[in-house]
Amino acid sequence: MTAMHAPSLALTLSLLAAVPATAAEFDIPWFEANPTARAQWLRSCRDDTRIARDARCGNAEIAENRVHARRLGAQSGVRSGQLPPAFETPMLLDAARVACARPPAERGLLGRYCPRGS
């Protein structure tokens, strides 16, 4: 770690330590509901591997993926819950959006998840 990152790391850790944590704080739904905190955690987690090993970093990353997947689903007409839970990833929701934009005869396997009438 360079000397330039040390002050920002110290500031981030001090801010994170100053926040009182309850049992529900820093779980995945909390990160989904708090985009500013999620962005700060992700920035810290991605800048320092020591912090990245913290479970809160994993929760923030999963929350980021879920929010992104919901955003893609809303844009595509493919809603969360239409794909099997194992396929609710940003990449597959995007693939479903692309498939649904094609004519029905060209949609392939993901066509069955397109909204009816599209």
Residue 33 has pLDDT above 90, yes or no: yes
Report whether 5 contacts 47 (CB < 8 A). yes
Please give the residue that has the higher pLDDT: either 18 or 72.
72
Is 27 exposed, middle or buried (CB count within 10 Å of its CB: 0-12, 13-18, 19+)? middle
Report whether 36 contacts 67 (CB < 8 A). no
Tell me how far apart the alpha carbons of residues 54 and 92 are, in angstroms, rounded to a whole number. 27
Residue 81 has pLDDT above 70, yes or no: no
> How many other β-carbons are positioned within 10 Å of the β-carbon of residue 24?
8
**Domain definitions of the chain by residue range:** 24-113
Residue 39 has pLDDT above 80, yes or no: yes
Which residue reads 């981030």 in tokens? 12
Considering the chain, what percentage of its residues have pLDDT values greater than 90? 24
User: How confident is the model over 99-117, as pLDDT tens digits?
Assistant: 888 888 788 878 777 776 5
> How many other β-carbons are positioned within 10 Å of the β-carbon of residue 54?
16
Q: How confident is the model at residue 37 (pLDDT cuts 50, 70, 90)?
A: very high
Q: Is the pTM of this model over 0.85?
A: no
Is 82 exposed, middle or buried (CB count within 10 Å of its CB: 0-12, 13-18, 19+)? middle
What is the model's pLDDT at position 1? 47
Residue 40 has pLDDT above 90, yes or no: yes
